[in-house]
């Protein structure tokens, strides 16, 4: 009778694809066991992490373009931020001419950038128009007053002339608005400047187009005198209309200077 070996005593078969390709004890099998298999495992793990785990963590595909919040009031921008499940913070505040306080000047990231829910958006917000206190300019030369205004962030406006016997010539009498008043940065400040003695000078007004009586009254009011009146036929104007004046408007003249006129007539 033949005695068969039990299942436990049988040698395990070494046949199979892996054993045939990499025989036991061969150098190729050792290389595969210590290098190839770990590499394959790492490759599989990389594929799983990159394709499955990371998209879940980073919520890949949930990005959306960030709207433009600039030129909106901060309260309006906040509503939009909340609707998109975003957060915001004010990174800085700046004075901005022409922009009211609380207006969003800039944002980061910029509009159109793809963002995800929970992202914090940084805003630069306007402090509004910066106000400047007008410095004391009285007693200064026009040039020095202009430099002081520029240093303060203001601009020289119009210059009007006054006449005074008690103040030095060509110095600022006062500004308007007056010193100490707060006005927006970049606003013009007008100056009243002393021209000199009140009894010495006057300025020629414009009288062309007035009647002779009106022109004569205005000339005398400027401490000037009507000189030679010449008549010229001109049917385009009513009679006694001033057509020409011997001194141009704004000319500085000694008081009681005679002003010659050309007046229209229809005869």
Confidence band of 11 (pLDDT split at 50, 70, 90): very low
For the record, the structure tokens of 128 come out as 């509004």
Confidence band of 10 (pLDDT split at 50, 70, 90): very low
Least reliable range by pLDDT among 54-63, 90-99, 134-143, 224-233: 54-63
Average pLDDT, the chain: 83
CA-based nearest residue to 187, from 176, 198, 197: 176
For the record, the structure tokens of 208 come out as 């062309």
Query: CA 137, CA 152: separation in Å to the nearest integer?
Result: 12
Instruction: Inform me whether the pLDDT recorded for 128 exceeds 70.
Output: yes
For the record, the structure tokens of 21 come out as 């390709």
CA angle 78, 80, 81 (to 5 degrees): 60
Instruction: Please tell me the predicted confidence (pLDDT) of residue 169.
Output: 81
Instruction: Inform me whether the pLDDT recorded for 159 exceeds 80.
Output: yes
Number of helical H runs and strand E runs in the chain: 7, 15
Query: C-alpha distances in angstroms, 69 versus 108, 112, 123, 125, 153?
Result: 10, 11, 9, 11, 30
Instruction: Inform me whether the pLDDT recorded for 147 exceeds 60.
Output: yes
Instruction: Inform me whether the pLDDT recorded for 235 exceeds 80.
Output: yes
Instruction: Inform me whether the pLDDT recorded for 133 exceeds 90.
Output: yes
Instruction: Inform me whether the pLDDT recorded for 3 exceeds 60.
Output: no
CA angle 203, 208, 261 (to 5 degrees): 80
Query: C-alpha distances in angstroms, 21 versus 15, 18, 29, 37, 197?
Result: 10, 5, 8, 14, 119
DSSP string of 85-131, one letter each residue: T-EEEEEEEEE-TT--TTBEEEEESPTT-EE-TTPEEEEEEEEEPPE
Confidence band of 164 (pLDDT split at 50, 70, 90): confident
The neighbouring-strand residues paired with 254 are 201
Instruction: Please tell me the predicted confidence (pLDDT) of residue 218.
Output: 93
Instruction: Inform me whether the pLDDT recorded for 37 exceeds 70.
Output: no
Higher pLDDT, 73 or 23: 73
Highest mean pLDDT among 6-15, 40-49, 180-189: 180-189
CA-based nearest residue to 235, from 197, 200, 212, 266: 266
As a whole number, mean pLDDT of residues 220-225 equals 90
Confidence band of 190 (pLDDT split at 50, 70, 90): very high
Could you tell me if 195 and 170 are in contact, meaning their C-beta atoms sit under 8 angstroms apart?
yes
Q: What are phi and psi of 28, to 5 degrees?
A: -65, -35
Confidence band of 5 (pLDDT split at 50, 70, 90): very low
DSSP 49: I
As a whole number, mean pLDDT of residues 25-52 equals 66
């Amino acid at each position: 009778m033949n005695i068969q070996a039990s299942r436990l005593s049988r040698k395990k078969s070494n046949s199979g694809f892996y054993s045939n390709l990499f025989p036991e004890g061969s150098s190729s099998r050792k290389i595969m066991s210590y290098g190839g298999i770990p590499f394959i495992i790492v490759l599989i793990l990389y594929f799983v992490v990159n394709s499955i785990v990371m998209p879940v963590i980073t919520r890949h595909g949930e990005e959306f373009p960030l709207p433009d919040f600039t030129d909106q009031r901060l309260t309006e921008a906040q509503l939009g931020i909340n609707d998109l499940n975003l957060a915001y913070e004010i990174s800085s505040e700046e004075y901005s001419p022409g922009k009211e306080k609380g207006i969003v000047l800039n944002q980061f990231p910029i509009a159109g950038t793809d963002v995800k829910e929970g992202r914090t958006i940084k805003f630069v917000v306007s402090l509004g128009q910066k106000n400047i206190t007008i410095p004391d300019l009285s007693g200064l030369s026009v040039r020095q007053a202009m430099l002081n205004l520029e240093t303060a962030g203001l601009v020289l406006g119009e210059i009007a002339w006054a006449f005074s016997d008690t103040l030095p010539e060509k110095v600022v009498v006062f500004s308007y608005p007056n010193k100490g008043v707060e006005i927006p940065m970049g606003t013009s400040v007008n100056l009243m400047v002393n021209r000199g003695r009140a009894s010495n000078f006057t300025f020629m007004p414009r009288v062309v187009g007035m009647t002779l009586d009106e022109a004569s009254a205005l000339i005398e009011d400027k401490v000037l005198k009507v000189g030679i009146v010449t008549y010229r036929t001109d049917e385009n104007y009513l009679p006694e209309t001033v057509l020409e004046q011997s001194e141009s408007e704004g000319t500085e003249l000694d008081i009681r200077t005679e002003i010659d006129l050309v007046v229209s007539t229809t005869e």
